[in-house]
Amino acid sequence: MNSNSSADLVMFPGQGSQRAGMAGHLLERHPAARQVFTAADAALGIPLSALCTTGTAEELAATDITQPAILATSLATWQVLREAGCAPDAVAGHSLGEYAALVAAGVLKPESALRLVQVRGRLMAEVARQRPGAMAAVLGLAAEQVIQICDQAGQTGLVEVANFNEPLQTVLSGEAEAVEAAGRAALAAGAEKVVALKVGAPFHCSLMNAIEGEFAAELDAHTFADPVLPVISSVTGDYLRDGEHARELLRRQLSGPVRWVDVVRRAQQLPVETYTEVGPGRVLSGLVRRTDPDARVRSSGDERRLGSLVDVFAPAAPVPA
């Protein structure tokens, strides 16, 4: 850990954190970030650098573009902070963000993570084309109540919990009619509101079982090393054991729920004092604050915030004699 900072969990965001121009400041001001994007463009054969600086929100919304775009932006931000001296006690990622966490922990090479995410996005988009679904966030109900509602609404079709994001925010995923029925039942049970999510596919539910075999074959084509620092998996809410465990969890992640509340609870046991969100947006920062109100949270999604973190991690200048 850098001597200038407290116990730190670095966390990487998932899909939904993208925004137009999200990497403009990185490519304009940080050579380390430009190197990451140059390598990403070459590895994937798509102009991620352009998409993440001048691409429209509509262009970034396609799942097969969104996922590598967020990953590349997160990895570029991480490289800037790592070169500044960021050395966390542990890392974690929310769904897609787990790939960036595995790169930070030395489990995956950046090129492997980018290629895996490109395939992941393509396969998920194909599921959405063949079996369109929906996702919705339920606010104001305990997760146990939402699970029961899913069980009851399952009579109308497939609906499952996709994300345990915070104690009173749980995300539904599945077939559109069943998700809508579960949303109505949640409101009747006292939910503050139910928000339909604009997503490219019904993530983290059994509809994704259709692509598990093909993605497992892709996972087998890449090398997974043992982590060089602790990784808290959003699949289990617990620590990653080794490289083979990471490979298995990425397969399970397709259709399993994101257990972000468990990630934060595990981090509290370290105990983590500071949560640093590395990548676009501040979604995870909000989730952490509402799970652990005493947490110190900081983000890096724009130049002002990134510059402040660089100043935190950079070694102090020597005092003149």
Greatest CA separation for the chain: 76
- Cite the residue boundaries of each domain of the chain with CATH code 3.30.70.250: 132-196
Mean pLDDT by runs of 10 across the 321 residues of the chain is 62 95 96 97 96 95 94 98 95 98 98 98 93 95 97 93 98 96 97 93 95 97 98 98 98 98 96 96 96 95 96 67 51
Q: What is the pLDDT of residue 7?
A: 77
Q: Which of the residues 5, 49, 74, 95 is marked catalytic?
A: 95
171 forms beta bridges with 137, 163
Q: What is the pLDDT of residue 150?
A: 96
Instruction: Report the chain's terminal Cα–Cα distance, integer Å.
Output: 28
Q: What is the pLDDT of residue 1?
A: 40
User: Which of the following CATH numbers is that of domain 8-128+206-313: 1.10.3720.10, 1.10.645.10, 2.60.40.10, 3.40.366.10?
Assistant: 3.40.366.10
Supply the CATH classification number for the domain 132-196: 3.30.70.250
- Cite the residue boundaries of each domain of the chain with CATH code 3.40.366.10: 8-128+206-313
Q: Which of the residues 173, 204, 234, 255 is marked catalytic?
A: 204
Known active-site residue 94:
no
Backbone angles phi, psi at 159, to 5 degrees: -150, 130
Give dist(CA 93, CA 108) in Å, integer: 14
pTM of the model: 0.94
The H or E element that residue 59 is part of is helix 57-61
Known active-site residue 6:
no
